[in-house]
Structure 1
């Protein structure tokens, strides 16, 4: 925030910024705050501030994954049709603040065609325009896109700040400690994990990795998770977090082979999650596959 505001005040604002950090850390919230600086809309009660809040500011264009009405969730990718309006938006003269802002939320979801179209804009940026991108997985962006952006990394919140945020969200006192531990400093992530209100999915993940869940119970648990709203998303998020934590611990201990194995399992489960959501695959089967990947047991759930 300070780096952006300083560049703006000095009249040396870079044309593209990449805000990266863990899922749920508040990247989109920060991106909108930066957009408000450029658009003179920091006062929420001002006409400009209200237009940004309402999504009607003429000099702000927000790009994110479209919504799949049939499946009732965001589409798997940001496609060419989603980014096509950017070029026309940047060609025209700013209507209000003299500057134009494009905010791409979740830039890692850009498919190849959309990413290449964006790259052309970054290579020849128009004057008095800034592109703000958020990403929880900047490594999935084209290297040529990353190289043209100034990066702002968001660090996880500490425990006391997380407690204050979760309390403000109205989370019950008896689950806040669990959400702080599982949320890894990301309040948005903690709010999603709160959907596992009784901790059953978290217990299943722990038991699976600790070897205390009987193979015969995996099928029943996977079907329960698949039936629960957002159950699959919560399961894969918790499982991925445990694997990432194990990979870091093994790396710090000098066990390179174990760290690499845990990292491979983490990536495989991320791929499985994306493919399951993209193609609307059977989530119960996907849970069983994720368990097999995480435990190295290809027979899990069979």
Structure 2
């Protein structure tokens, strides 16, 4: 089970609803990616599936039968719906190594209507070993139209003692009829101090400098920060900041970055670098007080467009990284870098 930290208000709202016996049957967990919505749903599920023991708070330590069954994916009263493998080849890999072993491009574009229909046997009988049944959809934004309409029928006529958690990064794009039948819990970015505590807890081997880099890069999202930590973003960001500071006129750092990120094994680091670079440029323009002229805005826009298009268009890794390095180096040419 994933550790959960922060977001006291959503947790308080949910636990008070439970304590007052006014628990809504469907909840939208809304907020940016990486804030901890899935971890909240996991721990809320454990809380409910263990409710016969009368818990009063969420608990990170879940060394009990419910926790073991959830971790093994075998709890009879729990279902987790996510995008599945896109082909038979990926299906086999998922069976052998688990769904989490697949990359983003290995997954289907949507949660299919057949996945929603497969839930129906769960609702035809009472819960097997728990007081509740729990369904988590991660993310509801990924439901295909037919799937959205199918889950809507369950929300309109909710099965008894069944709680739905719909994780959503873009709740405004959900069907209005789905939103109207759910209670919204909004998740905001964590404060810097909360990020530091979580990062130290999750990755105790990080030094203070690495933690500070990840706090800034994570922008209040522990999931994003931990992803960056796993791929060693701190080293890449240090090189990028040096390019911004010096301009890297001899192209040494740009070439080194391009070399490091061109190998197939470096794909996760490459993706993280693409995601981070436009934000890094924007942060520098703001913090250094650079004039927001069309020229500087255009550099950010080009970096953002290039980073966004690189994966879908299968652009050459080295060329992309070198060009992004050039855009960062151009910031030093203003003569106003602090």
Q: Same fold (TM over 0.5)?
A: yes
Do residues 25 (structure 1) and 42 (structure 2) align?
Answer: no
* Residue among 251, 261, 272 paired with 1:225: 261
Report the Cα offset of residue 61 of structure 1.
Answer: 0.7
Instruction: Classify the secondary structure of the residue corresponding to 1:194.
Output: helix
Is the Cα–Cα contact under 8 Å of residues 66 and 82 in structure 1 kept in the other structure?
A: no
Change (3 A) 1:163 1:63: same
Correspondence for 2:210: 175
Report the Cα offset of residue 118 of structure 1.
Answer: 2.0
Change (3 A) 1:242 1:198: closer
**How does 1:143-162 map onto structure 2 within 5 Å?**
143-162=176-195
Q: Deviation per CA, 1:131-157: give whole Å up to 9, x if none.
A: 102223334433332332211112222
Change (3 A) 1:36 1:143: same
Instruction: Classify the secondary structure of the residue corresponding to 2:119.
Output: helix
Correspondence for 2:163: 130
Correspondence for 1:299: none
Q: Distance in 2 between matches of 1:54 and 1:239?
A: 37
**Equivalences, count:** 284
Change (3 A) 1:92 1:240: farther
Change (3 A) 1:219 1:175: closer
Is the Cα–Cα contact under 8 Å of residues 28 and 185 in structure 2 kept in the other structure?
A: yes
Is the Cα–Cα contact under 8 Å of residues 34 and 221 in structure 2 kept in the other structure?
A: yes
In the alignment, structure 2 segments of 5+ residues that lack a partner are: 1-10, 95-100, 287-291, 329-338
Do residues 56 (structure 1) and 88 (structure 2) align?
Answer: no
Is the deviation greater in 40-49 or in 153-162? 40-49
Q: Distance in 2 between matches of 1:185 and 1:235?
A: 18
Q: Distance in 2 between matches of 1:59 and 1:264?
A: 48
Q: Deviation per CA, 1:167-192: give whole Å up to 9, x if none.
A: 22124213111111111122221111
Instruction: Classify the secondary structure of the residue corresponding to 1:32.
Output: helix
* Residue among 24, 32, 37 paired with 1:14: 24
Report the Cα offset of residue 194 of structure 1.
Answer: 1.7
Correspondence for 2:125: 92
Q: Distance in 1 between matches of 2:303 and 2:44?
A: 32
Report the Cα offset of residue 213 of structure 1.
Answer: 7.1
Instruction: Classify the secondary structure of the residue corresponding to 1:229.
Output: helix
Instruction: Classify the secondary structure of the residue corresponding to 1:176.
Output: helix
Is the deviation greater in 177-186 or in 43-52? 43-52
Q: Deviation per CA, 1:101-151: give whole Å up to 9, x if none.
A: 101122222233322322232233222211102223334433332332211
Q: Which has the larger radius of gyration?
A: 2
Report the Cα offset of residue 96 of structure 1.
Answer: 1.9
Change (3 A) 1:116 1:175: same
Is the Cα–Cα contact under 8 Å of residues 77 and 110 in structure 1 kept in the other structure?
A: no
Correspondence for 1:300: none
In the alignment, structure 1 segments of 5+ residues that lack a partner are: 250-254, 296-302
Instruction: Give TM-score scaled by structure 2 length.
Output: 0.66
Is the Cα–Cα contact under 8 Å of residues 222 and 284 in structure 1 kept in the other structure?
A: yes
Correspondence for 2:147: 114
Correspondence for 1:77: 109
Is the Cα–Cα contact under 8 Å of residues 79 and 113 in structure 1 kept in the other structure?
A: no
Instruction: Give TM-score scaled by structure 1 length.
Output: 0.73
